[in-house]
Structure 1
Amino acid sequence: MSQPTHTHTRIRMFNTKDTYPNQSLDNDLCQAVRAGNTVYVRGQVGTDFEGNLVGLGDPRAQAEQAMKNLQQLLKEAGSDLSHIVKTTTYLTDPRFREPVYREVGKWLKGVFPISTGLVVAALGQPEWLMEIDVIAVIPDGWVPPQA
């Protein structure tokens, strides 16, 4: 029997028992998946990749950290913020809409993605005030800029 050929690349794989030690979970996940020219990025919050919360009680600061994470994950997938076609933003309070959307708007100026916004009762951890996930499509022939 031959090995299956993967049609996608998993970026920053992890297990939830390591990332959520306060919860009894054991799920294998990843931060992003590139399937062909499409990149799906897991919901990002105000936590850096080492698990440190940035912006306790501050939805704008959490949005800034989430956007930094998105930028890095898209880069690792061979993409960038300009390729985002869809965003979904989750807020735990409707009053957070303006500070979060202003911050996200700074990062996505000139991109014009479609956007869905939801107010939810809670997110995965009580200190998280917002979460954003995105889908990006890399143009055919696009080459990432050299650093």
Structure 2
Amino acid sequence: MPTHTRIRMFNTRETYPNQSLDNDLCQAVKAGNTVYLRGQVGTDFNGKLIGLGDPRAQAEQAMKNVQQLLQEAGSDLSHIVKTTTYITDPRFREAVYQETGKWLKGVFPISTGLVVAGLGQPEWLMEIDVIAVIPDTVAGEAR
């Protein structure tokens, strides 16, 4: 019996055509009542970058992805317990954190922020990594 569920599996051959990669990955893993999300960027699930050069717009798309993935895993934004946010320039911090903060208002996760030299693609200005839980009850039903 599997110990975890993979959500939105993909191969990097299709998602990174500009690189010579062939890795099997997924967007999220549900293990017990914990959901681990792959770092989300400003690219939608069809591979289209939203917000070229705009860290706030990329953060908005990343949070849309987070919301969708958590929903598919049986959780939601209110059950996020940890975020790690990566930005490629310290000047992007305010725009990125203002945008992600809108989505996480009232959630109070633990959070780590890092400034990094670069991300997986040069156009990506930010990335957010999320861990959430699945509540014991969903819509009043016991799990």
Letter paired with 2:75? S
Post-superposition offset of 1:142: 2.8
Cα deviations by residue, 1:38-64 (Å, 9 ceiling, x for unpaired): 000000000000000000000000000
Query: For structure 2, which runs of at least 5 residues remain unmatched after alignment?
Result: none
Residue 10 (str. 1) matches residue 29 (str. 2): no
Rounded Cα–Cα distance in structure 2 between residues aligned with 1:43 and 1:126: 15
Cα deviations by residue, 1:95-117 (Å, 9 ceiling, x for unpaired): 00000000000000000000000
2:106 pairs, out of 83, 106, 110, with 110
The RMSD of aligned alpha carbons is 0.9
Residue 28 (str. 1) matches residue 24 (str. 2): yes
Post-superposition offset of 1:137: 1.1
Post-superposition offset of 1:140: 1.3
Q: Counterpart of 1:97?
A: 93
Identity of aligned residues (%): 86
Rounded Cα–Cα distance in structure 1 between residues aligned with 2:79 and 2:128: 15
Rounded Cα–Cα distance in structure 2 between residues aligned with 1:110 and 1:40: 21
TM normalised by structure 1 equals 0.93
TM normalised by structure 2 equals 0.96
Cα deviations by residue, 1:53-107 (Å, 9 ceiling, x for unpaired): 0000000000000000000000000110000000000000000000000000000
Q: Counterpart of 2:64?
A: 68
Aligned residues: 140
Query: For structure 1, which runs of at least 5 residues remain unmatched after alignment?
Result: none
Task: Find the residue that maps to 1:14 and give its secondary structure.
Answer: strand
Rounded Cα–Cα distance in structure 2 between residues aligned with 1:143 and 1:23: 43
